[in-house]
């Protein structure tokens, strides 16, 4: 099923095969080499820069995972959700509530699973009512943003002592603190995951999600997603249940956003309603727009780069981080509306233009972003 | 649902019709009203398997509405639609397609951002297995004379190539019934002749029943034996192209401008 991909034989090509196709950029050995280098570099961060890099880096990686969840549903299926943070935050709070009440290995494992299940179910319920109710295009964007803002308002008024679930106090705008680190296991058998461990778990989750989504978007279902994005009515007239496709895609996006929310909350040991705020809600849209919404790797690179710059500016005491991010968004949308990675891909294809009729493909946009933090 | 439905009547057409079992498509008392406007008014339509029928009529006669009712893009206000002996009136669009109804839209409705090969793969993967994709795509593109363009982005094709691509995509579904809304609108004389040849081939060689909406009466004459004339939402006349062309009433409502 790898139309248009080069078919240089061998084991390596066979391994690459399910991850490649015309629905993703980067179908060449050079791309995979670059990606491996970038992942290796990211994996070396805690070794090179120590404990502190792991602590900060894990947050950036969790953000990248959130960005990927939007890239997947927006870039590949045309569903612009402005409320991916709703699933991110709901999962974060859900993990916190379970983990604070049962801070054992079993409890932490259950907390992780329950939180992802809650965000998935939440996305499925919202998606069901939206798509089967005929809500589409910009109204999906508005509705998802409203859901995030409603959660922001709701959790903001949970300061009172009556807003506690067991030992977990929601805490209103002060947030919920004392959320334990991640842990995986049953009874006394398992692993408590410390700061460096958490960094690697988050990196692993990002890499696995990235590869999984690449395989998915190049599968038959991926073609159906892309077709739905391009022209929903036409796709329906090719026998696809586009409503169901959008529902499934939105639900998967909610699950990924939920996982990123758990990783974020467990890393910070804290969550507050600002994760549902309009600034937070806009960030995934900025990452995907700048990096390129049709490029998973572009969105990851943009999320890492933008959050790194944002963090550096905040460290230096600058108030200009948001202004800079906003200006960057405007600049990219004006100069390259499709985003950085698709534009780079175009340059590379042109540069490689060869007599070979199959299109030459890209090296890693990841190479460009790999060293960003 | 089924052919045993006692309400099924034979279609009251101008001239003889085949027996019901050979009909791929039937509508009974089909109506569609948009507010006060009745776009389709009590239409009893019948189409034989493998038949190529043209649907003509002045602007606003309800031709496109009729096709949209058959594909399920619109819901009828009243009446029934039978496809291959089954009542499909309540069936969602995508399931009708799964049973072999294929549609070619008026404006070339292709995936403009995707390559020609990707375009064909989308309908193809509904009927073929993964290991056949490559060879089947090649086959279809070869038949519709687009093989050289397989990696081209569809938006870069000429209008005629886009029309051919969309017909190829509709054929990739291996349909039993294909509905085409003005397939030669805006095409050159040569391109029109090419499409006419293709459609005749699809009806004769592939045995696909075709309903073609068309304004160009010469084109209609070149492809269809029988035509149905719609006017103000109802079937006004039905019969051979010669008979319809000769009918003074048809001339009055439709061919008037050619007098």
| DSSP symbol at A12 | H
B130 chain-A contacts, CB cut-off 8 A: 1, 220
Chain A residues whose CB is inside 8 A of the B97 CB are: 236-239
Q: What are the chain A neighbours of B125 within 8 Å (beta carbons)?
A: 220, 223-224
How many residues appear in chain B? 259
Smallest Cα distance from A231 to chain B, Å: 7
Q: At residue B218, does pLDDT exceed 60?
A: yes
Residues 6+ apart with CB under 8 A from A317: none
Token pair for residue A70?
């939007």
Residues 6+ apart with CB under 8 A from A63: A260, A264, A283, A287, A303, A304, A307
Sign of the CA dihedral running B153, B150, B140, A75: negative
Share of chain A above pLDDT 90, in %: 75
pLDDT at residue number B244: 86
Q: What pLDDT, on the 0 to 100 scale, is given for residue B52?
A: 93
Would the CB atoms of B98 and A239 count as touching at under 8 Å? yes
Per-residue pLDDT at B117 exceeds 60: yes
Kindly report the nearest CA distance between residue A23 and chain B, in angstroms. 9
Pick the CATH number of A51-300 from 3.40.50, 1.10.3470, 1.20.120, 2.40.128: 1.10.3470
Q: Is B102 on the interface with A (CB under 8 A)?
A: yes
Q: What angle do CA B244, B245, B249 make, to 5 degrees?
A: 70
Average pLDDT over residues B198-212: 93
Q: What mean pLDDT comes out for the span B220-237?
A: 89
- Higher pLDDT pick, B227 / A1: B227
Q: Which residue has the higher pLDDT, B9 or A174?
A: A174
* Tens-place pLDDT, residues A290-327: 999 999 999 999 999 999 999 988 888 777 888 888 89
Strand, helix or coil at A209? helix
- The pLDDT assigned to A365 comes to 42
Is the CB of residue B7 less than 8 Å away from at least one CB of chain A? no
Whose CA is closest to A206, among A277, A293, A297? A297
Both tokens assigned to A294: 């049709």
pLDDT digits (tens, 9 = 90+) for A90-134: 999 999 999 999 999 999 999 999 999 999 999 999 999 999 999
Q: What is the pLDDT of residue A196?
A: 92
Convert A72-111 to b/e letters by CB count within 10 Å (16 or more is b).
bbbbbbbbbbbbbbbbbbbbbbbbbbbbbebbbbbbbbbb
With an 8 Å Cβ cutoff, is B103 touching chain A? yes
Residues of A in contact with B103 (CB under 8 A): 237
Closest Cα to residue A123, out of A96, A97, A143? A143
Phi/psi for A227 (5° steps) reads: -65, -40
pLDDT at residue B20, rounded to an integer: 54
Chain B residue at shortest CA distance from A360 = B151
Asked if B111 lies within 8 A of A231 by C-beta distance, the reply is: yes
Q: What is the pLDDT of residue A325?
A: 87
Q: Which residue of B has its CA nearest to A357?
A: B151
In whole numbers, what is the pLDDT of chain B averaged over residues?
86
What was the pLDDT predicted at B176? 94
**Distance between CA atoms of B246 and B219, rounded to whole angstroms?**
17
What distance in Å separates residue B73's CA from the closest CA in chain A? 8
Closest residue in B to A4 (Cα) is B151
The CA distance from B160 to B149, in Å, is 13
Region B183-198: mean pLDDT is 90
* B40 neighbors B30 (Cβ within 8 angstroms): yes
Asked if the Cβ–Cβ distance from A237 to B73 is below 8 Å, we say yes
CB-based burial label for B103 (10 Å; 0-12, 13-18, 19+) = buried
Confidence of residue B255 (pLDDT cuts 50, 70, 90): low
| Structure token digits, residue A54 | 């792991």
State the number of CA atoms in the 13 A half-sphere of B184 facing the CB: 24
A158: nearest Cα among A220, A205, A96, A112: A96
Q: Which two tokens stand for residue A221?
A: 């279902």
Say if the Cβ atoms of A235 and B102 lie within 8 Å.
no
Q: In chain B, which residues have their Cβ closer than 8 Å to the Cβ of A227?
A: 111, 122
Most confident of A62-71, B23-32, B190-199: A62-71
List, in order of start, the domains of chain B with CATH numbers: 1-97+211-259 (3.40.50.300)
Q: Is any Cβ of chain B less than 8 angstroms from the Cβ of A353?
A: no
DSSP B90: T
Residue B7 has pLDDT above 90, yes or no: no
Written as tens digits, the pLDDT of chain A (373 aa) is: 444 444 445 788 888 888 998 889 888 899 999 999 999 999 999 999 988 999 999 999 999 999 999 999 999 999 999 999 999 999 999 999 999 999 999 999 999 999 999 999 999 999 999 999 999 889 999 999 999 999 999 999 999 889 999 999 999 999 999 999 999 988 888 888 989 999 999 999 999 999 999 999 999 999 999 999 999 989 999 999 999 999 999 999 999 999 999 999 999 999 999 999 999 999 999 999 999 999 999 999 999 999 999 998 888 877 788 888 889 999 998 999 999 999 999 898 888 876 554 444 444 444 343 333 3
Min CA distance, B15 vs chain A (Å)?
A: 33
Distance CA B239, CA B110 (A): 33
Question: What is the tens place of the pLDDT at every residue in B72-99?
Answer: 999 999 999 999 999 999 999 999 999 9
Instruction: Quote the minimal CA–CA distance from A303 to chain B in Å.
Output: 26
Straight-line distance from the first to the last Cα atom of chain B, in angstroms, rounded to the nearest whole number: 47
Considering only CB atoms, A239 lies closest to which of B112, B121, B173, namely B173
Strand order in the sheet with B226-231: B101-104, B177-181, B209-213, B52-56, B226-231, B234-240
Of A289, A312, A311, which is closest to residue A302 (Cα–Cα)? A289
Mutate which: A132, A230, A239, A243, vs B, most B CBs within 10 A:
A239
Please answer yes or no on whether A3 and B122 come within 8 Å at the CB atom: no
């Amino acid at each position: 099923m790898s139309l248009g991909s080069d078919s240089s034989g061998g084991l390596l090509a066979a391994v690459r095969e399910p991850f490649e196709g015309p629905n993703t950029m980067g179908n060449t050995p050079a791309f995979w080499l670059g990606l491996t280098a970038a992942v290796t570099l990211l994996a070396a961060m805690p070794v090179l820069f120590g404990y502190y890099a792991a602590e900060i880096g894990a947050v950036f990686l969790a953000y990248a995972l959130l960005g990927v969840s939007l890239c997947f549903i927006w870039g590949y299926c045309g569903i612009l959700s402005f409320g991916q943070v709703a699933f991110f935050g709901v999962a974060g709070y859900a993990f916190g509530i379970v983990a604070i009440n049962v801070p054992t290995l079993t409890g932490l494992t259950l907390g992780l699973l329950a939180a992802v299940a809650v965000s998935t179910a939440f996305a499925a319920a919202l998606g069901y009512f939206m798509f089967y109710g005929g809500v589409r295009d910009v109204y999906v964007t508005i509705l998802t943003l409203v859901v995030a803002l409603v959660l922001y308002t709701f959790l903001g008024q949970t300061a009172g002592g009556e807003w506690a679930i067991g030992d977990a106090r929601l805490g209103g705008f002060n947030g919920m603190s004392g959320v334990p680190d991640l842990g995986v296991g049953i009874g006394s058998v398992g692993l408590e995951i410390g700061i460096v461990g958490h960094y690697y778990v988050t990196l692993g989750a990002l890499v696995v999600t990235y590869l999984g989504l690449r395989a998915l978007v190049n599968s038959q279902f991926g073609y159906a997603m892309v077709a739905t994005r391009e022209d929903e009515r036409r796709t329906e007239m090719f026998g696809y249940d586009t409503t169901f496709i959008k529902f499934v895609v939105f639900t998967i996006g909610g699950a990924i956003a939920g996982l990123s929310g758990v990783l974020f909350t467990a890393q910070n040991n804290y969550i507050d309603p600002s994760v549902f705020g309009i600034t937070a809600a806009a960030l995934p849209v900025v990452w995907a727009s700048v990096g390129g919404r049709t490029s998973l790797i572009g969105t990851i690179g943009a999320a890492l780069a933008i959050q790194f710059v944002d963090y550096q500016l905040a460290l230096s005491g600058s108030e200009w981080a948001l202004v800079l991010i906003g200006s960057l968004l405007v600049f990219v949308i004006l100069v390259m509306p499709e985003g950085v990675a698709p534009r780079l891909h175009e340059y590379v294809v042109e540069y490689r233009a060869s007599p070979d009729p199959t299109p030459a493909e890209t090296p890693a946009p990841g190479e460009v972003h790999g060293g960003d933090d | 649902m089924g052919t045993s439905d006692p309400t099924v009547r034979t279609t009251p057409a101008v001239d003889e019709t085949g027996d019901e079992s050979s009909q791929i498509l039937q509508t009974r008392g089909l109506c569609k009203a948009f507010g006060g406007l009745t776009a389709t008014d009590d239409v009893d339509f019948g189409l034989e398997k493998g038949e190529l029928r043209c649907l003509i009529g002045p602007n606003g006669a309800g031709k496109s509405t009729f096709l949209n009712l058959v594909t399920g893009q619109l819901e009828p206000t009243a009446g029934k639609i039978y496809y291959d002996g089954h009542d499909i009136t309540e069936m969602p669009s995508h399931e009708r397609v799964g049973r072999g109804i294929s549609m070619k839209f008026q404006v070339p409705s292709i995936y403009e951002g995707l390559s020609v090969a990707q375009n064909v793969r989308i309908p193809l993967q509904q009927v073929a297995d993964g290991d056949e994709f490559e060879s089947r795509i090649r086959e279809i593109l070869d038949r519709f004379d687009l093989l050289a363009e397989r990696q081209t982005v569809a938006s870069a094709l000429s209008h005629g190539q886009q029309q051919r691509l969309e017909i190829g995509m509709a054929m990739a579904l291996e349909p039993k019934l294909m509905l085409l809304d003005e397939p030669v609108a805006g095409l050159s004389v040569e391109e029109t002749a090419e499409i006419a040849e293709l459609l005749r081939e699809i009806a004769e060689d592939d045995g696909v029943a075709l309903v073609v909406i068309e304004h160009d009466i010469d084109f209609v004459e070149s492809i269809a034996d029988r035509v149905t004339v719609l006017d103000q939402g109802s079937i006004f006349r039905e019969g051979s192209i010669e008979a319809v062309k000769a009918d003074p009433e048809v001339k009055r409502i439709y061919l008037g401008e050619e007098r």
